Every structure is written in C-alpha cells, then in structure tokens.
Amino acid sequence: MILLCGIPSEPPLAMVRAELERLEAPYVVLSQRRAAEARMSFEVRAGRVTGVLELDGSTWPLEFFDGVYTRLMDDRLLPELKGLPDGSAAATHSRQLHETLTRWCEISPARVVNRAEPMGSNMSKPFQAQLIARHGLIVPETIVTSDPEAVRSFAAQHGDLVYKSISGVRSIVRQLEAADLARLEDVRWCPVQFQELVRGQDVRVHTIGAEVFATAIVSDAVDYRYAHREGGDAKLEETDLDPALSQRCVDLAASLGLAFAGIDLRVTPDGRVYCFEVNPSPAFSYYESHTGQPIANAVARHLCGMAASGSL
C-alpha cells in the first residue's frame, strides 16, 4: 500500500498517482485540503513503530504502508485555513496532523520519498556545495561575504558573477550587473552569495534510486527556470550522461540520503561538469511534460519496491 501526501491536483503528485493506477498498485491519498477530516496516531514500543491513519471513514494501519510520497505544502498556507486566527481549532488540528505525519515519516520503515532530515542539506547552498565537492563534481568558485571590496576583488579574479540566496528561500539566480555594483554597500547589512558565472549547457538529472533521467536545457537565461519571466525561452530534451557521471549522480543522491533527487549540472564547452545544487523535492513534472521521460513511473515503481534501485 502506498500513501500519497499533498495536494492531489499538484502535477508531480497527480502524475505519480496516475502511474500507481497504471501499475495497479493500491494507494491512499492524504489530501492536505481535507486535513480536517483526517486523524493519525502512532506509537514507538521497543523500537517498533505502529499506528493508524483515519481517512474517509476508513482506518489504515500505518504498518500497511510500504511507500510514502510526500509533496506537502506549508500547511499554514492552506486555503481552508485562510482568515482563521492562529490557535483556531481547525488550524491547530491541521498543524498537529502535519506534525504527526512528518514525525512518523522520519521513523517509518517504509520507503519515504523523501524524509525531512536529508532534505535539509538544500537549505544552505554553500553547505550542500561542500558535500557535493566530495563526490568529484566541480562546484563554482563562491564567496559569501558582507564586504563590498571582497566582491570587487572576487570579480576581478573570476570575471562575470552571479548572485543568489545562501538559503533555499527566494532562490533566484541573477547576473551581477553595473546597477548591482552601485548598491554593493548593501551587503554590509546581510552577507550575500556570489559565484563565478559558469557558461555552458544546463542538465537537470533526476535520480530515483539507481535510475537516472537526464534532461538538457537550451536557454539564454541565467536561470532557465525563470526564462519566460525574463522574456526568454527554454527548450528541454532528453540526453544521455556518461556512465561515470551518471554513477556519480546516483552516489551523490544516496550519500545525501535522498531516494529521489533533482541534480542541477552545467557542462562547459571544454567538458567540465559543474554541479550547482541537489533539489530534494524535485518538481519533475516540468521536465517529464517536455521530454516524455518516465520519471513519475520510476517514482511509482520505487514506492512499490519494484525499482531496480537500492533501498533508501
């Protein structure tokens, strides 16, 4: 039995659900929009985890769930809770349900895609970059600083720069332009992350266990995800990775404890492979809808224990 958690209409969750149906795998959907109707409890006794999920008039023993796919949004932002005061019965129940679910996911023996703890590495990009570098992937030259002069010196050394958030919040990449240099003194208020601008071909690699799906992106935008917003375009197509690079991506995701990961690479014209970050909750639907790569199918098979992969 598979448990799907999130907003049922959200594309990644909907696509995995469709694949589970195609595989004729039994599943249950815990919709955040219907949190008020759900109840959950668990117990840890001598290290063994048991419990129940009450949903739609049915009671499901938690031990029945072999796989869990979570695409949870911040429950405080659910439309059902809009306008309700903090501490209202509905908001309190929703918070407690989500807390119980999250805690159970961390200790459940089920295949959870992905647990909260390993997803944490993405909350600090330079921290994650240090983990990435251990796997032989090149990370861009980076400085995080509150010193405007250090930025100028770094730019003199590395040429064109980009800047982006240090954390996973407001994570949009922008090129450092003349207008930005004019307000460089502002970094004294809060350190900012600057990186060398690496030119080359973007490749998004999705790993699910040992399976790898690589997508090449052709775009003239600094951050192709926002190409349309900047008046540009992005074309996506399936590509093949060198087997050694493919294995390196699988190893990287596994070392981070991620059963499913979206790894952002850029391949320079002279063949060097840079890794920018590992996304622990990839919105793969964007890539699958452009390329037809069967990523949702791989996630569904992994949840069912049918994948050719390891056992994260």
Partner 1 sequence: MLLVLCESDDQAALWAGEGLLDRGLPVELVTADDLAQAVRWKHRLGSAGTASEVVLGDGRVLDSTGVTGTLNRLVTTPPWQLAAASEVDREYAAQEVFSLWLSWLWSLPGPMLNRPTPQGLSGCWRHDSEWAVLAAQAGLRTPTYQMTSSEPNGRQLVPDGELDEERVATSFVVGRRVVAGPQQAGIAEGCRRLATASRTALLGVDLIEHQLGGWTFLQASPTPELRLGGDAILDALAAELRAP
Q: Would you count residue 142 as binding partner 1 (CB under 8 A)?
A: yes
Q: Would you count residue 100 as binding partner 1 (CB under 8 A)?
A: yes
Per-residue x/- marks for partner 1, 270-289, CB under 8 A? --------------------
Tokens of 3: 């448990």
- Separation between Cα atoms, residue 41 and residue 271, nearest integer Å: 52
- Among the listed ranges 64-72, 95-103, 234-242, 304-312, the one in contact with partner 1 (CB under 8 A) is 95-103
Q: Would you count residue 156 as binding partner 1 (CB under 8 A)?
A: no
Closest CB to partner 1 among residues 41, 289: 41
**Rg of the chain over all Cα atoms, to the nearest angstrom:** 21
Count of C-beta atoms within a 10 Å radius of residue 235 = 11
Listing DSSP states for 65-125 in one string gives -SEEEEE---GGG-GGGTTPPTT-HHHHHHHHHHHHHHHHHHH-SSEEET-HHHHGGGGBH
**According to CB under 8 A, which one of 11, 140, 257, 305 is a site residue for partner 1?**
140
Q: Would you count residue 175 as binding partner 1 (CB under 8 A)?
A: no
Question: Environment class of residue 269 by beta-carbon count within 10 Å: exposed (0-12), middle (13-18) or buried (19+)?
Answer: exposed
| Beta-bridge partners for 175 | 162
Q: Would you count residue 177 as binding partner 1 (CB under 8 A)?
A: no
Q: Would you count residue 133 as binding partner 1 (CB under 8 A)?
A: yes
- Separation between Cα atoms, residue 255 and residue 146, nearest integer Å: 32
Which residue is associated with the tokens 């994260």? 312
Q: What are phi and psi of 75, to 5 degrees?
A: -65, -20
What's the Cα-to-Cα distance from 10 to each of 123, 125, 158, 192, 249, rounded to whole Å?
23, 26, 41, 33, 27
Per-residue x/- marks for partner 1, 13-52, CB under 8 A? -------------------------xxxxxxxxxxxx---
**According to CB under 8 A, which one of 26, 191, 235, 268 is a site residue for partner 1?**
191
**According to CB under 8 A, which one of 1, 138, 283, 306 is a site residue for partner 1?**
138
- Separation between Cα atoms, residue 209 and residue 26, nearest integer Å: 21
Q: Please state the closest distance from residue 117 (CB atom) to partner 1, in A.
A: 6
Q: Please state the closest distance from residue 275 (CB atom) to partner 1, in A.
A: 12
Q: Would you count residue 88 as binding partner 1 (CB under 8 A)?
A: no
Closest CB to partner 1 among residues 11, 168: 168
Q: Would you count residue 308 as binding partner 1 (CB under 8 A)?
A: no
What's the Cα-to-Cα distance from 155 to each of 143, 172, 276, 302, rounded to whole Å?
10, 20, 19, 45
What is the DSSP code (8-state) at residue 206?
E
Closest CB to partner 1 among residues 40, 298: 40
Q: Would you count residue 96 as binding partner 1 (CB under 8 A)?
A: yes
Q: Would you count residue 172 as binding partner 1 (CB under 8 A)?
A: no
Contact set with partner 1 (CB under 8 A): 38-49, 92-93, 96-97, 99-101, 103-104, 106-107, 117, 120-121, 123-127, 129-130, 133, 138-147, 150, 165-170, 190-191
